[in-house]
Amino acid sequence: MSISARRSLLPLLLGAGFALVPVVTGGDVYTVNLAIRIMCLAIAAIGLDLILGYGRLVSFGHAAFFGAGAYAVGILSTHGFTSAPLLIGAAILAGAALALPIGAVSLRTRGVYFIMITLAFGQMLFFTATSLSAYGGDDGLSLPARATFLGTDPFGSPLSFHYVVLALLALVYLGGRAIVASRFGRVLRAGGEDERRVIAAGFPITAYRLVAFVIAGGIAGLAGGLYAEFTEFVSPAYLSWQRSGEFIVMVVLGGTGSLHGAVLGAAGVVLLEEWLAEFTEHWRLIFGPLLVLAALAGRDGLARLLGRGTR
Amino acid sequence: MTAPRPILQLQGLVKHYGRLRVSDDVWLDVAPGETHALIGPNGAGKTTLIGQIAGEIPSDSGRILLDGADVTVERPHRRVHRGLARSFQITRLIGGFSALENVALCAQALEGSSFRFLAPASRDAGLNAAAIAALAETGLAERADIPAGRLSHGEKRQLELAMALVARPKLMVLDEPMAGLGKAETQAMIAVLRRLAGQAAILLVEHDMHAVFALADRISVLVEGRIIASGPPDAIRADAAVRAAYLGEEV
């Protein structure tokens, strides 16, 4: 089979697989909820893959934008807003608006310094969330009600929630693919390989990276907003550096620079966690080495990722 | 009749690294359409000077005029839009892109906005046509679909040239385009550059004296950060100071 055929076959199979989960399991709530969780996180991972996989910028603060979206939904809900388009729109906006200043500062640095500064911003926002005493502080915040849309209840049942998130995942995936293949995406990809070359070609590369960073932030905001609707709960843990790390693992595990890889990576991480946790409460002891193996075996290991700019 | 305004003017350019003066009061003109060779021994400061012209290395003092405009403090990508294109001493290509896409990338920097997010760039007929034309001019049209990383060294040099050429620059700054080429490849590169000579002014930094004397209208000699001589090839060949400082061993 040709490479291009395989490229479109796998995403189609993935989409069909998610669509069939409720059918095959007869609407089993546990399984459908698992699929919803995977799809929410996969949306965020696709956003991260744009800047990490294609732009080769290792952002260690992606959870901050995910958390911003979640808190946007949580806070607006406590103030009585229930319109789904409004809440989800606010989540996207919160993620993107936060990414703009953070990206503008972080993108002045390169390599390890970029990792450190995005991590620092992420931690700053994590502690900001813990100090939001009006909205639960450390304990987090329960949503008083789920969002509604034109009198319907899109997030009301696991089944309709499942298909709403699937539709949004498909939208983000197709949008991401278009961006990667576009003129903009070409500049972003080229900059990931050789920044000096791209500047010498006449592009102010930082401006392109900042736009990509803001798009990724908006996508993470969307994912966080959906996740808040899913769990009906928001807490500072959504912004933790561990969650940022988890997003990186998803992208790397799935193979950087492949958007359906990010979806696969999200599924892999969530399922592995669930599966290993059944055997032992010390499942991280097994999960860690498995990640090391995945990174070593993968064509795009961590080393190549961090080696950006040295070639 | 006055001479046409130079496309590039360096006026008293200085660059220090600590106490070392790498560029020491450099004055240099490149006329429109001229092929101007810059030669000098290793460590003379040629690559630093190119960095200053391209804008990657800030100058401590002096001025750089590009087509009459003062670009001394302008950022590198802005200079590209004013008509400056450069190649690198060690080829810099996007290895994962095809030869065509490398050139199309450079074409899209100067043709329309690159903040376009939806239409696939690889199907942009205008960009592809410009890229194919530039590849044809450097003799690489048949290798358009090969990933740049898999081209031979000589082909990579040709590709870098095509990437500079597609921008329709007023001035091309070429940093040792013959480096690492075999005899036949060097001859081919000389032929290509000779063909291009009419289209843009060229500032040619080169160690291969055969190529320099075959191509240059004028030659400037840089030694320890200073231009010690500048003139037509015959005058440079005869210049005693140049012979003493540099050419003696090779010519």
Tell me which of B93, B94, B97 to substitute to probe the interface with A (most A C-beta atoms closer than 10 Å).
B94
* 8 Å CB contact of B75 and A204: yes
CA distance A232 to chain B (A): 34
Same domain, B150 and B179: no
Within 8 A of A194 by CB-CB distance, chain B residues are 92-94
pLDDT over 60 (residue B215)? yes
Three-state SS string over chain B comes to CCCCCCCEEEEEEEEEECCEEEEEEEEEEECCCCEEEEECCCCCCHHHHHHHHHCCCCCCEEEEEECCEECCCCCHHHHHHCCEEEECCCCCCCCCCEHHHHHHHHHHHHCCCCCCCCCEHHHCHHHHHHHHHHHHHCCCHHHCCCEHHHCCHHHHHHHHHHHHHCCCCCEEEEECCCCCCCHHHHHHHHHHHHHHCCCCEEEEECCCHHHHHHHCCEEEEEECCEEEEEECHHHHHHCHHHHHHCHHHCC
Interchain contact A309–B (C-beta under 8 A): no
Same domain, B148 and B48: no
Query: Residue B248 domain-assigned?
Result: yes
Within 8 A of A190 by CB-CB distance, chain B residues are 94, 97, 105
Give the distance, in angstroms, between the CA of residue B133 and the centroid of all CA atoms in the same chain. 19
CA distance B119 to chain A (A): 5
Within 8 A of B119 by CB-CB distance, chain A residues are 182-183
Q: Give the CATH number of the domain where residue B174 resides.
A: 3.40.50.300
Between the CA of residue A184 and those of A113, A204, A215, B108, what are the distances in Å?
25, 12, 12, 10
- Find out whether B247 and B237 touch, Cβ atoms under 8 Å: yes
Interchain contact A183–B (C-beta under 8 A): yes
Amino acid A311: pLDDT: 34
Same domain, B56 and B108: no
Same domain, B79 and B113: no
Within 8 A of A178 by CB-CB distance, chain B residues are 117-118, 120
Between the CA of residue A163 and those of A97, A156, A183, B88, what are the distances in Å?
28, 12, 32, 52
Distance CA A42, CA A22 (A): 18
Within 8 A of A204 by CB-CB distance, chain B residues are 75, 77
Residues facing A148 on adjacent strands: A83
pLDDT over 90 (residue B48)? yes
Same domain, B200 and B249: yes
Same domain, B3 and B106: no
The answer for residues whose C-beta is within 8 angstroms of residue B206's C-beta and 6 or more apart is: B37, B39, B174, B176, B177, B178, B212
pLDDT per residue, tens digit, chain A (311 aa), is 455 555 678 889 899 999 999 999 988 999 999 999 999 999 999 999 999 999 999 999 999 999 999 999 999 999 999 999 999 999 999 999 999 999 999 999 998 999 999 999 999 999 999 999 899 889 999 999 899 888 888 898 999 999 999 999 999 999 999 999 999 999 999 999 999 999 999 999 999 999 999 999 999 999 999 999 999 999 999 999 999 999 999 998 887 888 988 998 899 899 988 888 888 788 878 888 877 777 776 655 333 333 443 33
Distance CA A114, CA A58 (A): 7
Amino acid A310: pLDDT: 35
* CB < 8 Å from B in window 197-256 of A: 197-205, 208, 211
Same domain, B158 and B176: no
* 8 Å CB contact of A201 and B105: yes
Same domain, B76 and B178: yes
Please, what is the average pLDDT of chain B? Answer: 92
Cβ atoms < 10 Å from Cβ of B16: 14
pLDDT over 50 (residue B95)? yes
Within 8 A of B92 by CB-CB distance, chain A residues are 194, 196-197, 200
**How many domains does chain B fold into?**
2
Q: Which residue among A185, A196, A205 sits closest to B92, beta carbon to beta carbon?
A: A196
* 8 Å CB contact of B80 and A178: no
Pick the more confident residue, B35 or A7.
B35
Same domain, B249 and B191: yes
CA distance A175 to chain B (A): 8
pLDDT over 60 (residue B1)? no
**Domain ends where: B118, B148, B168?**
B168
Query: Residue B88 domain-assigned?
Result: no
**Domain ends where: B137, B168, B199?**
B168
Same domain, B178 and B65: yes
Within 8 A of B118 by CB-CB distance, chain A residues are 178-179, 182
Same domain, B12 and B52: yes
pLDDT tens, residue by residue, B10-33: 999 999 998 888 999 999 999 999
Q: Which of A182, A179, A186, A178 is nearest to A203 (CA)?
A: A186
Same domain, B65 and B162: no
* 8 Å CB contact of A182 and B96: no
- Chain A: residue nearest B168 by CA? A201
* CB < 8 Å from B in window 151-180 of A: 178-179
Query: Residue B89 domain-assigned?
Result: no
- What pTM was computed for the model? 0.91
Angle between helices A259-279 and A3-24 (to 10 degrees): 40
Amino acid A305: pLDDT: 38
Give the distance, in angstroms, between the CA of residue A270 and the centroid of all CA atoms in the same chain. 13
pLDDT tens, residue by residue, B155-177: 999 999 999 999 999 999 999 99
CA distance A308 to chain B (A): 13
- Domain A10-306 bears CATH identifier 1.10.3470: yes
Tokens of A126: 């994590």
Query: Residue B236 domain-assigned?
Result: yes
Distance CA B163, CA B33 (A): 19
Supply the range of the domain harboring residue B131.
Answer: 94-168
CA distance B45 to chain A (A): 20
**Domain ends where: B151, B168, B185?**
B168
- Domain boundaries along the sequence of chain A: 10-306
